[in-house]
Structure 1
Amino acid sequence: MASPRSRPPLAERVEELLSAGGPLPIVAAGDPVLRAGTVRYDGQLGPALLARFVEALRVTMRAAPGVGLAAPQVGVELRIAVVEDPAPVPEEVRVARGRVPLPFRVLVNPSYEPVGTARAAFFEGCLSVPGWQAVVARPAEVRLTGADEQGRPLDEVVTGWPARIVQHETDHLDGTLYLDRAETRSLSSQDAVAERWAQPTPERAARELGFDLP
């Protein structure tokens, strides 16, 4: 009996993915790669290929547009993500959500843990779940550890909206979607969020849709 055909090595698959050029296709919810978790990055791509892959993630994230993108979202089960948020929001939103600019950065083998017990709940969306948003309560402050694309260690405390982005993208690397943590009664189409729930905080949505906030 023939053995099942194994998948090509990661480097070969990434080379093939990059060969088309331009933004990469984003995997949608329902694809097992988003639920399988990832393997730690340990030089599987080599420095030059890693740099090309990171640049493709950046191009894809900006084109979507989004504020973060994890490798599984383009079908690659490596523990790598990119984040960036210019935070072009009104002052009242900035204050309510702690949404401040987050410069582009690469997270390699990231992990996070809560700092303190404070939690914050806001509408959140995902490039792999297009057209929908839901309220997610997350730790307001986290300790982020890992490395950057040069192998330099990361160990820092992140707060506000950047903390939410870090958690969302790191969750992808563990096979977790934001919907797993969401208040299901808050699930709303993008149009409904724009028309009804565009306030800086989700208090009105909680009241009218019937869910609790921390």
Structure 2
Amino acid sequence: MASPSDRAPLAERVEELLAPGGPLPIVAAGDPVLRRGTEPYDGQLAPALLARFVEALRITMHAAPGVGLAAPQVGVPLRIAVVEDPAPVPEEVAVARGRVPQPFRVLVNPVYEPVGTARAAFFEGCLSVPGWQAVVARPASVRLTGADEHGHPLDEVFTGWPARIVQHETDHLDGTLYLDRAELRSLSSNAAVADRWTQPTPATAAEALGFELP
């Protein structure tokens, strides 16, 4: 458990962060907070402050817009993330990527492990690396354990695009960016992805840019 002296600076930092109201500033790659990892949440924020922080993460994620946001992306080194995906994509894309709507949920102290050996590779982006996307091969199915914001246990298997989202956000909590796992030959600007690589899978991009898919 964190001592009272350890808790106070984090709570004060969050209070200051929330004071202006509205979406929070998103930290960009290059800030050490994205690389240091996070400390497990064990009550550093009082329940009311935690609820306000979670709501601010939700507002910020929606405003960006994104489908997930981790606490270090707003400068807070706690093992907390939020996810939500309305999955507004064409049917053929949804089928190819296993993308199905996900309700808003809070992940506290999440940890994932692969289920099986299947891997899936798709273009992925990050709110902390604005303007770019790259193909990342990830386990197609993962078991995620942890808790929600109320302390209720979480133990769930995610597949398809939801599995990608929870891996991406949990990686943030370990100081890992998606680029650490990406096929760098696939790195493309958002404009290039929109102009060239909107196919349901990255097979065309792999052939044109010269990288392999699993």
Q: Same fold, TM exceeding 0.5?
A: yes
SS of corresponding position for 2:53: helix
Which residue in the other structure is 2:85 paired with? 85
Which residue in the other structure is 1:3 paired with? none
Q: Deviations over 1:115-152 (max 9, x none)?
A: 00000000000000000000000000000000000000
Q: Deviations over 1:150-181 (max 9, x none)?
A: 00000010000000000000000000000000
Question: Does 2:198 correspond to 1:189?
Answer: no
Which residue in the other structure is 1:107 paired with? 107
Which residue in the other structure is 1:141 paired with? 141
Q: Flag the 1:100–1:7 CA change in 2: closer, same or farther, 3 A.
A: closer
CA distance in 2, matches of 1:178, 1:75: 18
Give, in angstroms, the shift of residue 108 of structure 1. Answer: 0.1
CA distance in 2, matches of 1:8, 1:74: 18
**Unmatched segments (≥5 aa) in structure 1:** 1-5
The RMSD of aligned alpha carbons is 1.1
Contact 2:58 2:82 in 1 (8 A): yes
CA distance in 2, matches of 1:151, 1:57: 18
Contact 2:7 2:44 in 1 (8 A): no
Which residue in the other structure is 2:65 paired with? 65
Give, in angstroms, the shift of residue 211 of structure 1. Answer: 0.3
Q: Which amino acid aligns with 1:10?
A: L
Aligned residues: 209
Which residue in the other structure is 1:45 paired with? 45
CA distance in 1, matches of 2:57, 2:194: 27
SS of corresponding position for 1:22: coil
**Unmatched segments (≥5 aa) in structure 2:** 1-5
Which residue in the other structure is 2:163 paired with? 163
Q: Which amino acid aligns with 1:83?
A: V
CA distance in 1, matches of 2:91, 2:21: 38
CA distance in 1, matches of 2:137, 2:20: 38
Q: Which amino acid aligns with 2:34?
A: L
Report the identity percentage: 87
Give every structure 1 segment of 4 or more consecutive aligned residues whose post-TM-superposition deviation is greater than 4 Å. Answer: none
Give, in angstroms, the shift of residue 8 of structure 1. Answer: 6.3
CA distance in 2, matches of 1:148, 1:181: 27
Q: TM-score, normalised on structure 2? A: 0.96
